[in-house]
Every structure is written in C-alpha cells, then in structure tokens.
Structure 1
Amino acid sequence: MIHFFNLIRWKNLLMIALMQYLVRYALLVPFQESHGVQTTLSDFNFFLLVIATLCIAAGGYAINDVYDIETDKINKPNKRIVNKHITEKNATTLFMVLNIIGVGLGFYLSYQIGRPGFFAIFFIASALLYIYSSSLKQMAVVGNVIVSVVVALSVLLVGIFELIPAMDLNNKAVQTTFLNIIRDYAIFAFMINLIREMVKDIEDIDGDHKAEIQTLPILLGRERANKIVFVLSLIPIFSIIYYVITYLFKQQLVVGYFLVLVIAPLIYISIKLFTAEEKSQYKHISLILKLVMLTGTLSLLLYNFILK
C-alpha cells in the first residue's frame, strides 16, 4: 500500500488539497457576511471538487512514472516504483481509473452548478498531464510550463466553481476582488512550481540525457540553465515585494510573515542557485521551494487580519 501512495505522490496531493481548502475556508467563507462574498458549492460538492482534482493529479503522477521508467533507473534508482513494486500495466490501469473518476466528478459538478462548459477544465487538465508524460516532457521548458499551469489551475479552480456561477450585477465587484486574490495565488503557485520543475531538470540531467529528453540543461548545458533559473527565481521575489508594499504594507504581522517565511527563503534559494553545482544542492533547493509553496499557501490564513 505504501508503494501505491508513493506512486501518486501523496505529499503533493495533500498540498493541493490544503491549497483548495484554504482558499474556500480561509478566504471565501469567512467573508460571506462581512463582505458579501457568495459561494456556489455545498460542503459536500466542494469535497467532490477536491477529490476530482486529486484524482486527476494522482493519475498524472502515475502515468509520469510509467514513462519515466528508464530515466528513474539513473535519477532515483532507490525510489523507483513502476516495474519494481507496481507493474507497468497496473500503474497504467490506475491512471485510467483515476482519470475516469476525476473527469466524471468534474462532469457531475459542472452540471450541478449549471455551467456544463466548466467540465472542459477537467478533461483538458487530464489530457495535458498525459501528453506531458508521453511527449511534451521531451520539449525544453514546454513540459515545465504545462505542469505549472495545471498546478496553478488547481488553485484557480476553486474561484471558477465557487465565485463565477454566483456572480451577478449586485455582487460583481466583491466576487471579482476575491477572484483576483485567488488568481494572484495561482500565479504564485505557477512561478514557484516552474522554478522547481526547472531545478529538477538540472538535478536529473544524467538520466534525461541517457533517455534523450531535450530539457533546458541538456540543450544549453548545466551552467547556462542554472543562470536562467537564477534570473527566473528573482521574479517571484520582486513580485511578492511589490504585492506586499502595494496591498499589505499597513499590516505589520502580515508583512513580517511574508518577509520571514516567503521572501527570505526565496532570496536564500536565489543565492543557492547562483553557486549550485552538485545534485544534492539542487535537491535541497527543490525541497526549500516546496516549503515556500506551503508557507505561501498558509498565508491565506492571514486574510482575517488583511480584510478587517
């Protein structure tokens, strides 16, 4: 059973679920009375939305490992799961079952809220993760962007399903304001994940080279790729500083939180990227980026102080 949970990256799935639950229960629900925010889904249907998202993400992780069998023999021989603990056939079947459940739930929820077109989001996400694993991964940067878009979409999905269907002329300004906040968090998730994916490409350069996958470090060399990722790592730092100064500067607790738990670790990552050479260093940077994603997500709990 532990190999099944490792295959579907249970820790990453917990992060996605946490992000979605915090968006709803820390950002939207607390401001229904004070700010007039209107949500669409019942608690149970929101739970189904999270399950649908997790099923599609878990399926993506499973099929990714199927296509990564050869590269994983070099990049992570001790952590290999497919064809070691779980057969390739069973992993592929798991991918299909999880996607049927995820897309099926998406179909049900879309009709429940009277927006059948929203069903396309689940279908596209599922298709993108499969195409990424089977072919797009071999295209420099494109694969990184696709995965990061899907991660950002998991955040944005809450706003799409909760706020847009309940929007009318009377509450449009309020709904749009909160939708914009969710959009900003989705952009944050996209940026951090994109950097992390590119760091992982540098870390996995040996296995990717043998498998003839054309990642950025293979096309340009590790040193040039490192410089590009370093420059990219500066973008979220300046973006968050701008965001804090523009919207949150009067809230000292909030400013302190972002400075210590989001901006400082990002600066640390940039410094480490500038000098990184060893595989272990890139693995460390990847871990810190995951922690920044967590601290960034947990900042949603601060909106009770921000939106007094």
Structure 2
Amino acid sequence: MDSVKQNTPFTFLNILRSFRPINLLVIGATQFIIYQFYFTQEAICPFLGLKGYLLLPFILTTMLIAACGYLINDFFDFKGDLINKKKYKLSNPVVYLKIYFTLLILGFVISLWIALELGNPFLALIYILANAVLFLYSSHLKSVPLIGNIIVSLFSSFVILILVIFEFDYITCVFEFDDALAKFNIKTILFYSIFAFFISLSREIIKDMEDVEGDKKMDVKTMATIHGIKISKSYASLFLFFNIGLSSSWIYKLNGLVENSLIILPILLLILPQIVLLAFLTKAKVKTDFSKNSFLAKVCMLLGLICFTLYTL
C-alpha cells in the first residue's frame, strides 16, 4: 500500500508534465490576450462570433490540439527520449495513446459545438485537419529535415491565425471601414504570427542540435544529424536574422504612430533579446548550451507577445 501511495502522485505528475502545462497556458494566454486587445472595434464592426461564452471553449480546443500533439509525439519518440535521457517519461508508451484518444474526442465534440453555434459546421474540420497534420508530423514528417521543423513552427502561427479564420467577417469589416489604427492592429496580429513562426523555426532547429546524440542512435534524420551542427547553426541564425529585420520593419511603421520616446521599449523587448540569442547560439557547443538557447527562444516569443500587446493602438 505504501508503495502505491508513493508511486501514484509521481505517475500523475508525469502525466501532467506530458501535457506541457506551461506551454498550454502560454497558448491559452496568447489567444485570450490577442482577442481581448485586438478584436475591440465592435462599434464599427459588430461581427465578433467568439465574443462572450464561446471564447473560452474555443481557447480550450486549441490547447487540446496542442496537448494531443505533445502526447502523440511522446508516443512515437518514446525510445529516443530514453536515449536522450528526457525526464518525467511515463513507463509505458501505450498510456500516451489512451490519453491522446480521450482528449482527441473531447476536443472534437467541443469544436463541433462551437462550429454549430457559429452556424458553420465546416469550421470543425480545422480541428480534424490540425490534429491530422500533427499526427503525420510525429509519425513520419518529423524525420524529414526542415519540413518537420516548419510544420511545428506553423502551429505557432496557427494559434494566432485561427482567431483570424474564425473572425474573418470582423477582419473584412475592419478593412472595409478604412480606419488606419484598426487596420494597423489587424496587421500587427498577422505580423506576430510571422514573428512566432520564425522564432519557433529557429528554436526547432536548436532543439535538433540539442537532441543530436539520441537522434543519431535512433537513426532519426534531422538537419543536425544529416548536415551537422555548423550548418544547422547557420540556418537557425539565418531565420533569426530575418526575424530581427522583420521586427525592425514593424518598429519603423510604429514610429509614425507613437511618440519617438516610446520606440525604445519595442527595441528592448523585440530586437535586443533576439540579438542576445543569436550571440549565444554562435558560441553554443554542447547539449546544455543548446538547451539554454531553446529556453531563450521561448523568452523571445513571450517578450514579443508582451510588446505587441502594449502597443495595441
């Protein structure tokens, strides 16, 4: 009995960790913050379908898509994660599948209900398609260099762009109304989705370099195992350079809409952290270095969200 009592909370915590709860909270918070700050022009465009009781269930379905993606990825990566000495793995990979299908069905039911409430049942197909792509990624596409990285990075953009898809009538109305500030806010949403994509893409390549030892033993084909650390670093750095340029262009456009004294903050929140990440990446050599760089890339994305939220016009 004592051994059961000791093992049960440990197992429960491992199951909880397999959901990546912090990542899920970031996803949920991102959607909630963007919706509350950017979808605000009800006076000129009263077409907000998710406003009110549908918003939180909608965010929950996005979090369930991500959770299912993590679970099915852990199932297919079970042996590789043991070699890479990943912490908090469940002892039986079948458990991942059981939880995966439970959450998959739950998410579909909620997404179908939301779609019916909005009068467009075809919107539920987005949930099915997103899960299908993440399943294919974990089972096959993850081992295709760069393509697998791109798919994961697209999901980072998907978290934001799915709001645009579900509120397309509102977006169309804003652009037809010809309000400069409202247009800038919508363009900022699109910009952040691109920003999130390239930060995620750099981070995914960094994670490949972090896991290169285990991936080689498992014969997993990633950019790091095929082309080596040096070329992988070059690609990750290239995407960071592009993102720094993209961030600079957004700040340049912002400069014409706010006081010059307010421009220093987005430089500190957007540009500087990416430059620091780029500098650390060039010096990274061992697994722990790449692990720190991966965490720093997450910080860059979070600071980007804070910056874009603060400068909602």
TM-score, structure 2 as length reference: 0.88
Identity %: 27
The reply to whether residue 6 of structure 1 matches residue 13 of structure 2 is: no
The residue identity in structure 2 corresponding to 1:244 is I
Q: Distance in 2 between matches of 1:166 and 1:113?
A: 16
Q: Secondary structure at the match of 1:40?
A: coil
The residue identity in structure 2 corresponding to 1:180 is K
Q: Which residue of 2 aligns with 1:52?
A: 61
- Judge which range, 253-262 or 189-198, deviates more: 253-262
The reply to whether residue 188 of structure 1 matches residue 195 of structure 2 is: yes
Match of 1:98 among 97, 103, 113: 103
Aligned CA distance change for structure 1 residues 264 and 58 (closer, same or farther; 3 Å): same
Q: Secondary structure at the match of 1:43?
A: coil
Q: Work out the number of aligned pairs and report it.
A: 299
Match of 1:129 among 134, 139, 145: 134
1:83-104 deviation digits (Å, cap 9, x = unpaired): 2xxx322210111111112222
Q: Which runs of 5+ in 1 are unaligned?
A: none
The residue identity in structure 1 corresponding to 2:36 is Y
1:27-85 deviation digits (Å, cap 9, x = unpaired): 223x434x6464222322111100100111101101111111111112234x14132xx
Aligned CA distance change for structure 1 residues 254 and 4 (closer, same or farther; 3 Å): farther
Aligned CA distance change for structure 1 residues 172 and 59 (closer, same or farther; 3 Å): farther
1:69-88 aligned within 5 A? 69-77=78-86, 79-83=87-91, 87-88=92-93
The residue identity in structure 2 corresponding to 1:185 is Y
Q: Secondary structure at the match of 1:11?
A: helix
1:118-152 deviation digits (Å, cap 9, x = unpaired): 22221111001111111111110111111111221
TM-score, structure 1 as length reference: 0.90
Aligned CA distance change for structure 1 residues 18 and 159 (closer, same or farther; 3 Å): same
Match of 2:149 among 141, 144, 149: 144
CA displacement at 1:254 relative to structure 2? 4.7
Match of 1:270 among 274, 278, 283: 278
- Judge which range, 219-228 or 9-18, deviates more: 219-228
The residue identity in structure 2 corresponding to 1:60 is G
Q: Distance in 1 between matches of 2:175 and 2:83?
A: 58
Q: Secondary structure at the match of 1:295?
A: helix
Match of 2:42 among 20, 32, 36: 32
1:173-209 deviation digits (Å, cap 9, x = unpaired): 5686654332211111111111111100001000111
Q: Distance in 2 between matches of 1:300 and 1:277?
A: 33
Q: Secondary structure at the match of 1:242?
A: helix
Q: Which residue of 2 aligns with 1:20?
A: 31
Q: Distance in 2 between matches of 1:115 and 1:298?
A: 33
Q: Is contact 2:14-2:90 (8 Å) kept?
A: no
CA displacement at 1:219 relative to structure 2? 0.8
1:153-180 deviation digits (Å, cap 9, x = unpaired): 1111112213436745995656866543
Q: Distance in 1 between matches of 2:261 and 2:162?
A: 29
CA displacement at 1:25 relative to structure 2? 0.9
The reply to whether residue 64 of structure 1 matches residue 62 of structure 2 is: no
The residue identity in structure 2 corresponding to 1:91 is Y
Q: Distance in 1 between matches of 2:171 and 2:187?
A: 15
Q: Could you say what the CA RMSD is over the residues aligned between the two structures, in angstroms?
A: 2.2
Q: Which runs of 5+ in 2 are unaligned?
A: 1-11
